[in-house]
A = this chain, B = another copy of it.
């Protein structure tokens, strides 16, 4: 249950080195490395091709059509953070634009993940300020109601705690709990090493059926070949 009207100032952040290691992997790899959990819903999309970001979460809870808390959040940003904004109800309004991006960047933010809309996407693209949003909309917002900053939020279906690692790219947005950053980076590295070898074999024409030894299992499941 959300607590409203709260700003947590001192949050533990995931280990910087682990974040840097995780930043080398794509969201799909990290999602697999976590055991296929931690993914936000796929309706969150990058606002420009090639947008990608990795960092520690500063969380914001917004109300529909109200971006007041974004300004409160700005003050809590530290270099390397990614702002993660949730909303108490679905809203496609433009909660964020180039002025807030300028402010967030000045504070050291690396990007934004928002379960809402954004605007000024041409400017954001030129700034190369990566944003992952549910919508793009010129619709402005008001500043009337208290949400919270740095509480645990549900953003696009995933729980995000302040300080968690957020990895976002063209495939989606994945959240790694701060306490699991290191081991997830290890698992991702192992998975990627493994995939490199597999990729080479597949490129050489080896079939997944053989590489993964699937033929017997498929036959036992009853698969029939017809000529």
Instruction: Output the least CB separation between A80 and chain B (Å).
Output: 16
**From residue 72 to 92 of chain A, which have CB atoms closer than 8 A to chain B?**
72, 74-75, 88-92
The answer to whether B140 and A28 touch across the interface, beta carbons within 8 angstroms, is yes
Interface centre among A159, A172, A174 (most CB of B within 10 A): A172
Closest to A195 in B: B99
Closest to A168 in B: B138
Interface presence of A120 (CB below 8 A): yes
By size class, the interface of chain A is 35 or more
- Please encode chain A, from 52 to 78, with 1 for each CB lying within 8 Å of some chain B CB and 0 for all others: 000000000001111010111011000
Q: Which residues of B contact A143 (CB under 8 A)?
A: 214
Interface presence of A38 (CB below 8 A): yes
CA distance A205 to B102 in the complex (A): 9
The answer to whether A208 and B1 touch across the interface, beta carbons within 8 angstroms, is no
Q: Which residues of B contact A204 (CB under 8 A)?
A: 106
- Please encode chain A, from 2 to 43, with 1 for each CB lying within 8 Å of some chain B CB and 0 for all others: 101111111000000000000000111001101111110110
